[in-house]
Amino acid sequence: MKKIVWLFMLIFLAGCNITVLQPKSETASEQAFLINFSFWLMMIVVVTVFTLFIRFVYKYRFTEKRKDDLPEDVKGNRKLEITWIVLPILLLIVLAVPTIAITYEQSAKAPQDRKKNGVHIDVIGKQFSWTFQHENGKKEMNRLVIPEGEPIIFHLTSEDVIHSFWVPKLGGKVDVMPGKEITYEIKKPEKGSYQGKCAEYCGLAHANMTFKTKVVAKEDYQEYLIQESQ
């Protein structure tokens, strides 16, 4: 039975090839930092709580020698009370500062001036495909090519239902609304090929709403723009 359980676990894990913990852009690196920072900060709390729990269970366990012992009646301890009030507040502040800063800076924005420095790309989501239109008018479906090291500014909208634009190793995810344009920026992507997808259930073929992302050198990107769409 155990072997069958392990077999099913391996099958399920085989599908988990998309990860946000292998960042390939400045944007994704900030997100990965926030995840790791939160995890290790909470691990300090978990380890402390479990250590104290095990210590108290062992120290104050019932034994025949102690069956007649009566615990001391403690009315209060001002130092301990202040400590367990102040420490959680400090932990929340330490966690909140980078969380608020990074989340606000990376949140989707209202439509921005297309004169802003960076590469501007229109993204249109519809059941069940993505269309990418570059500044020179070139369009491709389910294939995104962008230059490395440049700020990439996506102008996102949907033709039908709510979708979610996501390239895990580069940044995201961003909900895309029908009839509403929002912008999202990915900073300094690294060269490579990455998988993108819709991360919001949008219909029966939602799982097939994927696209390929390729980050190339700036010169190669300029050449790509003048090539005919495949």
User: What pLDDT digit, counting tens, does each position of 174-208 carry?
Assistant: 999 998 999 999 999 999 999 999 999 999 999 99
Using the predicted structure, report yes or no on whether residue 14 has a pLDDT greater than 60: no
Q: Six-digit token pair at 64?
A: 């025949």
Could you tell me the residue ranges of all domains in the chain? 20-62+77-107, 119-226
Residue 199 has phi, psi (to 5 degrees) of: -105, 20
> Distance of CA 82 to CAs 47, 67, 88, Å?
21, 33, 10
Name the band, by pLDDT with cuts 50, 70 and 90, for residue 74. confident
Mean pLDDT across 214-230: 86
> Which residue, 58, 153, 174, is CA-closest to 111?
153
The fold adopted by the segment(s) 119-226 is Immunoglobulin-like (2.60.40)
Task: Give residue 70's pLDDT band: very low, low, confident or very high (50, 70, 90).
Answer: confident
Look at residue 227 and give its three-state secondary structure: coil
Q: Give percent of the chain above pLDDT 90.
A: 66
Q: What is the pLDDT of residues 36-66, one digit of tens each?
A: 999 999 999 999 999 999 998 988 887 777 7
Instruction: Match 């599908």 to its residue by tokens.
Output: 15
